[in-house]
Amino acid sequence: MTAPEYRCADPRADGQGKRPDSCYHPPMPTLQESVAARARAARPRIAVRKVPADALLPDELHAVTRRVLAARGITSPALLETSLAGVLPVSSLAGVEAAAVLIAEAMTSGARMLVIGDFDADGATSTALALRALRAMGATAVDYLVPNRFAFGYGLTPEIVDLAMQRDPRLIITVDNGISSHAGVARAQERGVKVVITDHHLAGADLPAADAIVNPNQPGDGFASKALAGVGVIFYVMSALRRLLRARDWFAIRGIGEPNLASLLDLVAVGTVADVVALDHNNRRLVAQGLARIRAGQCQPGITALLAVAGRQRARLTASDLGFALGPRLNAAGRLADMSLGIECLLADDPVRCQELAARLDALNRERREIEQDMRDTAFARVERELEQLSEGELPPAFCLFEEDWHQGVVGIVAARIKDRFHRPTIAFAAADAATLKGSARSIAGLHIRDALDTVAARYPGLLTRFGGHAMAAGLVIARDALTPFRAAFMQVVDAALDLRARERLIEVDGELAPGELCLDLARELARIMPWGQACPEPRFAGRFQVDDRRVVGGRHVRLVLTPHGARKSVSAIAFDAIDHAWATQADHISAVYKLDINDWGGVESVQLVIDYAEAN
């Protein structure tokens, strides 16, 4: 079983204890919670990841690094290799040639193309990549449209097609959506518009009647990386288009320099990590190449501006920075306003304009955090009331929550917080209008949330208006008066599908570190060896420590000085949002799960521990 990760965006708090932009809260009950809630939030089981005996990794790597890599299935030098040359062939992704032909025909005839995006970070980077690539290849009549979350909802709906027709497109290209847009595709074709779908979400039993579909998860596609994000899919389509145009002498005839699409890999890296898709070998290559370009300063001006407002150092950028610093700022536009703001930031070339847009995105992200805090407090109180109706120590199979004043754009984050705290699949709903609710679902290992919703839809026809998503996250729409029967049906399906072992909270670690291994060299090597992320989690270690000193920073965080058990030399540690935890404020000895990290203060680097979970002992 894959352990839940309680990860911080960046453990390097500033001198005032500034909190990172987005942190998962450790699954520890606070001092304010009731005794019953503390009992129900059961202590997790901490397990050491198994290391295969046949791993053959370079001897120049630290023994701990070799152990960490092997435990993630990276057992040979070939699996460490992240060159672009090893990326899966473009031609192995079904549908790319057909999509390239349709786009090339539109470019040749001068027909207007319209890219229909999505309102999250993957959708924003996908849209920006498509526009930048098409314009670099000489397309003169191409624009984009991204649905407003609150007015239109997700995907290529008939209403979006009607809105798109005001721009008179002859070809619609979807990015990060479309695989379930049967009605929208039909409406476009009724209006004489061809449709190319590029998506990565799971397909239903029937596919839309689009002119071309590119999706590694469509039936019959043998593409070896099913985890490709939406931005990865459109990158492959643009690569196929460039190859086709080259074969047709398009660039030579028009005197256009053939674009280097690798210059767009920074967008691929951001979208891939922010969408929390599995970092399989192909995705690790794409992300590693994008990270390398950003670190070298070879990235879009908008990404440079976003890094600046997030306070991230480009040269020390890690994959987690992409997901927990850049991703939330892009997502904030789609959650609270209009994702066009994020897309424009990624499309702009003027640094001053990029700085203005990045500042607006940063302000939206701060507003999102304030809204989230209020909603999260309400959600926890709601769960407390539900738990009071159950036997001591009992947890329901899932949570399904709704509050009238909850914000549509933030319910997904609230669902994630409840899921993280109680280790149960969670759906949070907000009112879309007087008759409709929109929900966001988050799941745990052991329950495929989209399949669970599919089961509900099959058993109870008409209960779900619309749904879609992944194994760990999904979106859905129901009628307001269907909430009670839906909650009952969802609970029933989850209860049957979620076995006892899946309900157990598990934190996997990479063993213990000897006192001499708590060093800067190992922290640097672990930070650089691999883009860590989903299905390739950041290294976590366990250990016992004596607490030598502690102080509160930033109001809620606790900075500690710890001495490992049996050692003499102490090490610095930081625990975010730990002010309410007795182990952080009172205990003399703790057992902790932590990440080995680098603290950069005043240009001086030192090793520090970032504590994810701890208990007094």
pLDDT in tens, 138-152: 999 999 999 877 667
CA 257, 262, 264, 266 torsion-angle sign: negative
Who's near 545: CB < 8 A, 6+ residues apart? 562, 563, 564, 565, 573, 589, 590, 591, 592
Q: Is the pLDDT of residue 160 over 50?
A: yes
**With the C-alpha atoms ordered 64, 70, 72, 77, is the resulting torsion angle positive or negative?**
positive
- Beta strands at 571-575 and 604-616: parallel, antiparallel or unpaired: parallel
pLDDT category at 597 given cuts 50, 70, 90 is very high
Phi, psi of 289 (to 5 degrees): -65, -40
Question: Is the model's pLDDT at 38 over the cut of 60?
Answer: no
Second CATH level (architecture) for the domain 35-42+512-616: Beta Barrel (2.40)
Say what the pLDDT of residue 235 is: 98
The pLDDT value recorded for residue 613 is: 93
Query: What pLDDT score does 42 carry?
Result: 57
C-alpha radius of gyration, the chain, whole number: 24
88's tokens:
């899966």
Over residues 528-551, the mean pLDDT reads 94
**pLDDT computed for residue 151 by the predictor:** 67
CATH number for the region 84-299 comes to 3.90.1640.30
In terms of CATH architecture, what is 375-503?
A: Roll (3.10)
Q: How confident is the model at residue 469 (pLDDT cuts 50, 70, 90)?
A: confident
pLDDT of 8 over the 60 cut: no
Site of tokens 């001495």: 563
Q: For position 178, what pLDDT does the model report? A: 94
- Work out whether strand 212-214 and strand 194-198 pair parallel, antiparallel, or are unpaired: parallel
pTM of the model: 0.87
What per-residue confidence (pLDDT) applies to 604?
A: 87
Q: Does 179 have pLDDT greater than 50?
A: yes
User: pLDDT per residue over 237-291, tens digit each?
Assistant: 999 999 999 999 999 999 999 999 999 999 999 999 999 899 999 999 999 999 9
Residue matched to tokens 């992704």: 93
pLDDT above 90 as % of the chain: 76
Instruction: Report pLDDT for 470.
Output: 79
Q: What is the mean pLDDT of residues 532-547?
A: 95
pLDDT of residue 3: 33
Query: Is the predicted pLDDT of residue 9 greater than 60, yes or no?
Result: no
406-437 per-position pLDDT tens digit: 999 899 999 999 998 899 999 999 999 999 99
Q: Are 439 and 464 in contact (CB under 8 A)?
A: no
Q: What is the SS3 assignment for 474?
A: strand
| Segment 434-452, tens digit of pLDDT | 999 999 999 998 899 999 9
3-state helix, strand, coil in the chain (%, to 5): 45, 20, 40
Coil, strand or helix at 376: helix
228 in Cβ contact with 283 (< 8 Å): yes
Strand, helix or coil for residue 574 = strand
The answer to whether residues 73 and 137 touch, using CB atoms and an 8 Å cutoff, is no
Pick 38 or 481 by higher pLDDT.
481
pLDDT, residue 291, reads 96
End-to-end CA, the chain: 27
Q: Which two tokens stand for residue 220?
A: 């019959």
- Looking at 435-562, list the stretches that DSSP marks H as alpha helix, in order from N- to C-terminal side: 449-459, 483-497, 500-503, 520-529
Whether the per-residue pLDDT at 591 is higher than 70: the answer is yes
Average pLDDT of span 337-348: 93
- C-beta separation of 571 from 35 below 8 A: no
SS3 state at 231: helix
Domain segments of the chain as ranges: 35-42+512-616, 84-299, 375-503
Q: How many CA atoms lie within 13 A of 518 on its CB side?
A: 25
Distance (Å, whole) CA 512 – CA 564? 11
Q: What confidence tens digit (pLDDT) does each residue in 293-317 have? A: 999 999 999 999 999 999 998 888 9
Give the integer Cα–Cα distance in Å for 243 and 314: 32
Condensed to tens digits (0 to 9), the pLDDT of residues 208-243 reads 999 999 999 999 999 999 999 999 999 999 999 999
Higher pLDDT, 115 or 37: 115
Triad 338, 343, 347: Cα angle to 5°: 150
Q: How does strand 541-553 pair with strand 557-564?
A: antiparallel
Q: What's the mean pLDDT when you consider all of the chain?
A: 90
Sign of CA dihedral 380, 385, 391, 396: negative
Confidence of residue 41 (pLDDT cuts 50, 70, 90): low
Quote the pLDDT of residue 5: 33
